Amino acid sequence: MGQKGTKDKITPRRRFFTNLAHNVGLGAMGVLLWAGYTSKAKSSPLTLRPPAALPESDFLKTCIKCGLCAEACYNRPQNLDKEGNKLTPGTLKMAKAQDDVTIGTPFFIPRDVPCYMCEDIPCVPACPSGALDIKKVTNEKGELDIRLMKMGVAVVDVSSCIAFWGLQCDACYRACPLLDEAIKLVYDRNSRTGKHAFLKPVVNVDVCTGCGLCEKACVTEKPAIFVLPTDVALGKVGDHYVKGWDKADQQRVKDVDINSVTTQTERSKKKAEDYLNSGNLLEY
């Protein structure tokens, strides 16, 4: 018995190394979990930022996660009744661990609470670090201008928008604060019935601010119109294409040597008669 008790006895030295291994393992696991989370949080390309936010990489470097923008949004005068009670929740949220956004940074979800495009844009002047650049929403007169707020672009899913089915709906159009500018209703004949018309919502990407009021107002179960970050929603033509009807765009390339710019495809390398008379254009 004495020998067995001695054999099973845990010495201080053994306990020390056991605890050390245990703590090292927990620490390593914590580091891996945190690294995995931060990687995921920073990888979401669909995060909508407040007005006048810097490009995402610069925004993350500049934002000090103070929450003053969200506080200004929540306490905006337009959000109070005569008794000082809050009418609606604040648009801006500060990201928590469960959000797929970098912790402590501001963002918003239009279907929950859209941006109400306050005339004084209170969230931007409240930013102390410049992560929300007030110059981005200041017009030539030195005034804050809600038309310059660029948070994203509204996109219409024509397959689920009931207006494209022929049903009368203008909820997004009516909800837009830039009425008949950011969203227009385009008339089209309904050839299926022959006697009804389509009134299709079409977004003007040059005017849309990405406030999300249209997304909030959409009557479908999952919004048929929704806001995406501009970089996600829009394509990029490339600097080598020029709008011939746009004097400003022509000015952009006025110093470019046209003869030095060439665009070639496999087909353009051939003569026209090589493929027009071939009988199979797909070969070229």
For residues 39 and 84, give the distance between their C-alpha atoms in angstroms, rounded to a whole number.
41
CB 258 within 8 A of CB 184: no
> Does residue 201 form part of some domain?
no
- Domain span holding position 69: 42-150
| pLDDT digit string, tens, across residues 145-188 | 999 999 999 999 999 999 999 999 999 999 999 999 999 999 98
Question: pTM of whole model > 0.85?
Answer: no
Beta-bridged to residue 200, according to DSSP, are 186
| pLDDT digit string, tens, across residues 35-52 | 555 544 564 889 999 999
Task: Using DSSP, state whether 39 is helix, strand or coil.
Answer: helix
Split into its structural domains, the chain has a count of 1
> Does residue 185 form part of some domain?
no
> Does residue 84 form part of some domain?
yes
- Please give the average per-residue pLDDT across 4-32, as a whole number: 64
Instruction: Determine how many CB atoms are found less than 10 A away from the CB of residue 69.
Output: 29
> Does residue 17 form part of some domain?
no
> Does residue 216 form part of some domain?
no
Spatial CB neighbours of 132, under 8 Å, sequence gap ≥ 6: 50, 51, 52, 53, 54, 69, 123, 124, 126
| pLDDT digit string, tens, across residues 99-138 | 889 999 999 999 999 999 999 999 999 999 999 999 999 9
Of 56, 51, 46, which is closest to residue 177 (Cα–Cα)?
51
Spatial CB neighbours of 13, under 8 Å, sequence gap ≥ 6: none
pLDDT at 278 (0 to 100) = 62
Calculate the CA dihedral of residues 125, 127, 133, 137 and round it to 10 degrees: -30
State what percent of residues in the chain have pLDDT above 70.
Answer: 75
> Does residue 106 form part of some domain?
yes
| φ and ψ of 94, to 5 deg | -100, 120
> Does residue 157 form part of some domain?
no
| pLDDT digit string, tens, across residues 91-107 | 999 999 888 899 999 99
CB 110 within 8 A of CB 42: no
> Does residue 158 form part of some domain?
no
Question: CA 163: distance to chain centroid?
Answer: 25
| Tokens (6 digits) for 191 | 């050839």
